[in-house]
Amino acid sequence: MHEMSLCEGIRGIVEDQARRHGFSRVTRMRLEIGRFAGVEKAALSFAFDVVMRGSPAEGAALEMIDLPGRAMCFDCAEQVELDDRLSPCPLCGGGRLMPETGDEMRIRDMEVI
Amino acid sequence: MCGICGCGSTVTVDGREISHDEAHRLRLAHEHAQDQRHGHGHSHAANGHAHDHGSGDHHHHHHHDHAPGHGHHHDYGAGAAGLSVPGLTQQRLIEVETSLLARNDGLAAGNRRVLSALRAFAVNLVSSPGSGKTTLLCRTISMLEGQPLAVIEGDQQTENDADRIRATGARAVQVNTGKGCHLDAQMVGGAMDALRLEPASLLFIENVGNLVCPAAFDLGEDAKVAILSVTEGEDKPLKYPDMFTAARLAILNKIDLAPHCDADPEVYEANLRRVNPGIDILRLSARTGEGMQAWIDWLRAGLATKA
């Protein structure tokens, strides 16, 4: 979707953290991406390499950690984990599910020098 | 320069820069930007608001005050060689736990606060290109005669839509995103400052026609309204679930055309509820006016919640 904008967000956070913690280079970064976040990981990875050029995170290894997507089933009133946004409820087969988690997109941590 | 307290031109409200005049007009507590150095301890008896003055040696910087991640150092006690040598730079891990959208979300919170101070109700209109957003807006504006309102028009290029809105007599600001596929909170904040909304206004933000990216970007609005026309295909909510999940209301537009294109509004509604069981749905035709009154009532009810 807007992987380039997301990487600009990452760059802003990196530059902010570099000022705050006084590091010069990020060697590895771990992102947490929810299953329903709509992030195309290949596109994010490509945009990351491009957008980080000239920043402390240029050349950093990027790792993406999947977070599960959970939804409330309006038929059986249980919170269930879904592999796919449009899957039916694994408990009752119902089709009306409201996502409650899984839209996360965040930097978990960075290794820096 | 601010005509009220005589200092610099922009201040910070919840991390969002707005003009100083506007902050005073809305009586919002605000922080002055870091580079503005002037005497502390003066009072604003006439306005009675509280604000902190950042002096040059304070560490706060307006873009960072509200960042949710604070970052903790975890120096690896032992380096790669199993030694810890004081003064020698080592690799360390910084926990960040910050959303990639943190900056946008902070700016959106500032927009939301300005809207609350104005008791204004803002809707973020999202849809595919060609769903009839601008036609819907023009008809809505003509039915809301006497109601203070303003429009922010987002498109990649041209002033065409803002010109159509201005032809109705309403105030409109066009935001061209260039290559950008969505409006963000900073663009909307700038447009809000330019519009100088009247108290108890309705603010219509017409997002870039795109059912993907605008879902993720909070603008500070009270509600996202997804517009879907019956010519688009009943499975559109299933193809682009994120947008319809994020919306509070879906408008099924061009309902007068349904019999001509074998569209079944019931199937549209079932698919909308499949991706968002709590969504409100209105069927209408912006062209014929059918169903428009329920939309006007929905807007007025929203505005009443801000009073």
Q: Are strands A26-34 and A105-112 parallel, antiparallel or unpaired?
A: antiparallel
Q: In what order do the strands lie in the sheet with A97-101?
A: A79-82, A69-73, A97-101
Best of B90, B94, B105 to mutate (most A CBs within 10 Å, chain A): B94
From the list B181, B238, B277, the residue facing A86 with the nearest CB is B238
CB B5 within 8 A of CB B44: yes
Give dist(CA B267, CA B134) in Å, integer.
25
Question: Does A89 appear as a known binding residue?
Answer: yes
pLDDT, tens only, B46-59: 444 444 443 434 44
The pLDDT assigned to B192 comes to 96
**Where residue B84 falls among pLDDT bands split at 50, 70, 90?**
low
Candidate from A27, A85, A106 with C-beta closest to B98:
A106
Q: Which residues of A touch B216 (CB under 8 A)?
A: 1-2, 37-38, 103, 105
What pLDDT band is residue B33 in, cutting at 50, 70 and 90? low
B176 touches chain A (CB under 8 A): no
Q: Which residues of A touch B95 (CB under 8 A)?
A: 108-109
Judged by CB atoms closer than 8 Å, whether chains meet at A99 and B245 is answered as yes
B161/B16: higher pLDDT: B161
Helix (H) or strand (E) holding B99: strand B92-99
Please give the average per-residue pLDDT across B218-233, as a whole number: 97
Check whether A7 is labelled as a binding-site residue.
no
3-state class percentages of chain B: helix first, strand second, coil last, to nearest 5: 30, 20, 45
Which of B153, B121, B106 has its CA nearest to residue B249? Answer: B121
Q: Which of A2, A74, A95 sits opposite B182 (nearest CB)?
A: A2
Report whether A21 belongs to an annotated binding site. no
Tell me the average pLDDT across A31-57.
95
> What average pLDDT is seen over chain A?
94
How does pLDDT run across B12-27, given as a tens digit for each residue? 776 677 777 777 777 7
* pLDDT at residue B6, rounded to an integer: 44
Residues of B numbered 35-94 whose beta carbons fall under 8 angstroms of chain A's beta carbons: which are they?
Answer: 63-64, 67, 69, 71, 73, 89-94
| B168 and A CB contact within 8 Å | no
By C-alpha distance, which of A104, A106, A96, A108 is closest to A38?
Answer: A104
Using alpha carbons only, give the angle A36, B243, B117 rounded to the nearest 5 degrees.
110
Distance CA B22, CA A104 (A): 34
Give yes or no for A111 touching B (CB within 8 A): yes
Judge whether A81 is closer than 8 Å to chain B, CB to CB.
no
Q: Are A78 and A90 in contact (CB under 8 A)?
A: no
Nearest chain B residue to A44 by CA: give it: B100
Provide, as residue numbers in chain A, all residues whose Cβ is less than 8 Å from the Cβ of B184: 5
Residue A99 Cα, gap to closest chain B Cα (Å): 8
Alpha carbon A11 to chain centroid, angstroms: 14
- Closest CA–CA distance from residue B6 to any residue of chain A (Å): 31
Task: Find the CB nearest B94 among A5, A12, A21.
Answer: A21
Cβ <8 Å between A20 and B71 = yes
| Contacts with B117 (C-beta within 8 Å, 6 or more apart), sequence order | B26, B27, B28
pLDDT tens digit sequence for A70-103: 999 999 999 999 999 999 999 999 999 999 999 9
Mean pLDDT over the full length of chain B: 82
Please give the helix or strand (H or E) that residue B297 lies within, else none. Answer: helix B292-305
Q: How many residues does chain A have?
A: 113
Sequence-distant (6+) residues with CB within 8 A of B187 are B154, B175, B177
Dihedral of the alpha carbons of B130, B149, B12, A31, in degrees to the nearest 10: -30
pLDDT confidence bin for B138, thresholds 50/70/90? very high
DSSP per-residue string spanning chain A: --HHHHHHHHHHHHHHHHHHHT-S-EEEEEEEEETTS---HHHHHHHHHHHTTTSTTTT-EEEEEEE-EEEEETTT--EEEESSTTPPPTTT----EEEEE---EEEEEEEE-
Residue A2, pLDDT score: 82
Percent of chain A with pLDDT over 90: 91
